Amino acid sequence: MPKPVTSKAQFVKLYQDGVFGNRAPTWNSLDRWYDWWTAEHFDAPESAITYRRFHVRNRVANGKTFYNLGPDFNSVVTAWNRLVCEYGPGTAYISEMAPHHLGTAQGEVQRSVHHLDLTITTGRLPMREALLTDYTTFVQGLRADILLRHFMDPPSYEWLQYLLDTYVDHVVEFSCFSRPWGTVPNRNTVFWETRLY
């Protein structure tokens, strides 16, 4: 049985290793992201990359984060440097922004005495922002399960059950899209966090 995920730093390491399943493409350092960015620009016409946006994220729980950066590398470098200056070396990492314009639902789910507790939103924004909109609701039990089955493709739903069974009492954050997206082919759901903190 895996250890409980009790810190953001512990979670990020496992997330980047792919332990929690489908996720956004992620780079652990500015150098690795820059190598990827350079290769993408070298191998592809400009029009093929201009839609890509990035998210400079933080290994500190509830830490500052920067959304919708790019496509130029200067905005990513500036955000990276701001996080590192404020929180210290080793705190920042970079993810590709999810295609929120294709979002169908996202939220947080946890097992409970009601079977499931689900906070869900149809807001087409990054998770933190979307959960603050009027499109957010809280449901439990069978209704929560029906909504998850509706928005997730079957393999994503099965993977969610695995996460909930394996990481007891943890909260699982997810986003569903109208088409596959992420590091695992043919999955319409990415799992942002599995946490007990």
| pLDDT tens per residue across span 114-132 | 999 999 999 999 998 999 9
The closest of 44, 23, 165, 14 to 98, measured between CA atoms, is 23
- Name the token pair of 119: 């906070």
How confident is the model at residue 39, as a pLDDT?
A: 81
**For residues 140 and 115, is the Cβ–Cβ distance under 8 A?**
yes
Say yes or no to pLDDT of 41 above 70. Answer: no
Portion of the chain with pLDDT greater than 90, in percent: 82
Other CB atoms within a 10 A radius of the CB of residue 73 amount to 17
What's the CA angle centered on 142, arms 136 and 145, to 5 degrees? 65
Identity of the residue numbered 110:
Q
Q: What is the band of 27 on the pLDDT scale with cuts at 50, 70, 90?
A: very high
Q: CB of 96 within 8 A of CB of 53?
A: yes
pTM over 0.85: yes
Distance CA 144, CA 150 (A): 10
pLDDT of the residue at 42? 63
pLDDT exceeds cutoff 60 at 47: no
CB 71 within 8 A of CB 49: yes
pLDDT band at 184 (very low <50, low <70, confident <90, very high): very high
pLDDT at 33: 92
| Per-residue pLDDT, 1 | 81
CA distance 197 to 194: 9
The string of pLDDT tens digits covering residues 130-148 is: 999 999 999 999 999 999 9
Give the tens place of pLDDT for each residue, 54-106.
Answer: 999 999 888 899 999 987 789 999 999 999 999 999 999 999 999 999 999 99
